[in-house]
Amino acid sequence: MDEQPIIQIKDVHKYFSDSIHALRGVTLDIYKGEVIMIIGPSGSGKSTLLRSINNLEEIDYGDIIVDGFSVKNHKDINKLRMEVGMVFQQFNLFPHLSVLNNIMLAQKIVRKRSEKDALKNAMILLDKVGIPDKANAFPAQLSGGQQQRVAIARALAMNPKIMLFDEPTSALDPEMIQEVLEVMIQLAREGMTMAVVSHEMGFARAAADRCILMDAGKIVEDAPKDELFTNPKEERTKLFLSKIL
């Protein structure tokens, strides 16, 4: 891959307080169409790294450039965010809006699409995530797996160039994990650039290109997924994999 990375993370530091140094010099390039899986123990900074990419966390040092927009340039932050879809562990659907309106709201007020276009797009996406029959339901009436699929559709509706997933299946009952992973795998096959924090080996096997292990705010190992899982170089990686596999 000789072209420019679509995300450039350059020596990023993040402090939550003097004593909490959540990111300690993270450098990472993500190329168009790549699916990156980020693993690591709890508290290692995975969420903070992901949330820094769309500036939900403001970084203290270094820079992140997403499709030409820097997170340091606050004027363009909403433009940057339009290009980056995010899926949260807790779904974060808007409970006062129907499924359709959840997917249409930002299309209308951020992308300035007409009601008709937004609706058409929303129905296509609901079809894609497999729940067109829930269009008029409210989030509280859906199962966790269905809610997460709506959340994915809501993010996709903005036509992002990159999708970030922060433990998208961790809050789900086991029987619902697969339906969400299938949507994500499908998305990866279609060529979406994705950064996924997850320990789901099923997804890693089916869709990941590269895998990154984080520990204590740093990237410990960054390797093609087959190498990282079968032949890890670092002791930290071996130790961590022995715990989760």
Partner 1 sequence: MLPKNNKEITNKWLNKNLPQVGELSKIDPWWGLVLIVLALIVLLLVSQPDPYQRILNFTEDGIWITLLVTLVSSVLTLVLGLFGGLGRISKNKVIYGIVSLYVEIVRGIPLLVQLLVWYFAFPAIIAQAGIKFNIPAFKNYLANPVMMAIIGISVCYAAYMSEIVRAGIESLPAGQMEAARSLGMTRLQAMQYVILPQAYRTIMPAIGNEFISILKDSSLVSVVAVSDLTRRGREFMSTTFLPIETWTMVALLYLLMTLISARIVNIVEKKTKMDK
Ligand X SMILES: Nc1ncnc2c1ncn2[C@@H]1O[C@H](COP(=O)(O)OP(=O)(O)O)[C@@H](O)[C@H]1O
Chain residues binding ligand X by CB under 6 A are 16, 20, 22, 40, 42-48
Tell which one of 131, 158, 184, 211 touches partner 1 (CB under 8 A): 158
105 binds partner 1 (CB under 8 A): yes
C-beta of 68 vs 95, nearer to partner 1: 95
CA distances from 181 to 143, 214, 239 (A): 15, 22, 26
Contact 157, 104 (CB under 8 A): yes
Contact 237, 213 (CB under 8 A): yes
| Listed residue (88, 198, 200) closest to 144, CA to CA | 88
- The minimum distance between CB 46 and ligand X, in angstroms, equals 3
What x/- string results for residues 114 through 133 when contact with partner 1 is judged by CB under 8 A? --------------------
47 binds Mg ion (CB under 5 A): yes
Question: What DSSP element (H or E) covers 180?
Answer: helix 174-189
155 binds partner 1 (CB under 8 A): yes
| Listed residue (174, 175, 206, 204) closest to 189, CA to CA | 206
In whole angstroms, what separates CA 135 from the centre of its chain? Answer: 24
Q: What angle do CA 132, 202, 148 make, to 5 degrees?
A: 30
C-beta of 20 vs 109, nearer to ligand X: 20
139 binds partner 1 (CB under 8 A): no
| Listed residue (163, 145, 160, 142) closest to 100, CA to CA | 142
Picked from Mg ion, ligand X, partner 1, none, the partner binding residue 10 (CB below 5 to 8 A depending on kind) is none
Rounded Cα distance, 64 and 87, in Å: 19
Rounded Cα distance, 29 and 64, in Å: 10
What x/- string results for residues 13 through 52 when contact with partner 1 is judged by CB under 8 A? ----------------------------------------
Tell which one of 4, 27, 73, 90 touches partner 1 (CB under 8 A): 90
Tell which one of 4, 20, 61, 95 touches partner 1 (CB under 8 A): 95
Interface with Mg ion by CB under 5 A: which residues? 47
Interface with partner 1 by CB under 8 A: which residues? 54, 56, 78-79, 81-82, 84-86, 88, 90, 92-96, 105-106, 109-111, 138, 140, 151, 154-155, 158
